[in-house]
Structure 1
């Protein structure tokens, strides 16, 4: 269970968002971007369409991550398919789980 502090809640929420994106998004060997269905359901909160959602995700990832580079390679590379075919949705699993930080 993550506890947020009043003094630092904005930074803590930013970190939680970044951790969620890094943990739940991936790129396959076939250059397909894997998104959680939950993020797709709430896409309109972040973007106008699928392409702008992917651009938003890209902008939220730390500059040094390989995931960010892989997403950019997919978006800027030679497209064989429309953007909808480049995205694979992970099914939504409603199981509750804990994320424990070991530090």
Structure 2
């Protein structure tokens, strides 16, 4: 089990890094040109985007342009005819992993 502790001085950059780590660890681009999004992200989609298509755009904008996940996601779209395909047609839900937990102090 991994635990992260955030400090007051660098909390913004630490949370940004954690967000990127979570996206890279939980989103999958498969060999059959599908993109798997975790159920947790899809359930909370309205915090980031209006629909699946804009969620995929948001995720791509969070990822480094040179990153392998972003490149793999772009390849999934190219494999389905490029810009004509809607993200909602190639995104699949990855069931929630109940071993993963967020702990927030208030």
TM-score normalized by the length of structure 2: 0.82
Aligned mate of 1:92, from 93, 96, 99: 96
- Which digits, 9 at most, give the CA deviation of each residue in 1:2-39, with x for residues without a partner? 11111100000000000000000010111100100000
Aligned pairs, number: 97
Match of 2:104 in 1: none
State the distance in 2 between where 1:29 and 1:54 align: 18
Where relative contact order (Cα < 8 A, 6+ residues apart) is larger, the structure is 1
- Aligned structure 1 segments of 4 or more residues deviating by more than 6 angstroms: none
Aligned mate of 2:50, from 27, 48, 65: 48
The offset of 1:73, in angstroms, is: 2.6
Aligned mate of 2:8, from 6, 10, 24: 6
Moved more, 22-31 or 85-94: 85-94
Q: Which runs of 5+ in 2 are unaligned?
A: 102-106
The offset of 1:64, in angstroms, is: 1.8
TM-score normalized by the length of structure 1: 0.84
The offset of 1:66, in angstroms, is: 1.1
Q: How does 1:1-103 map to 2 (within 5 A)?
A: 1-75=3-77, 78=81, 82-96=86-100
State the distance in 1 between where 2:88 and 2:65 align: 25
What's the C-alpha RMSD, in Å, of the aligned pairs? 1.9
Q: Which runs of 5+ in 1 are unaligned?
A: 98-103
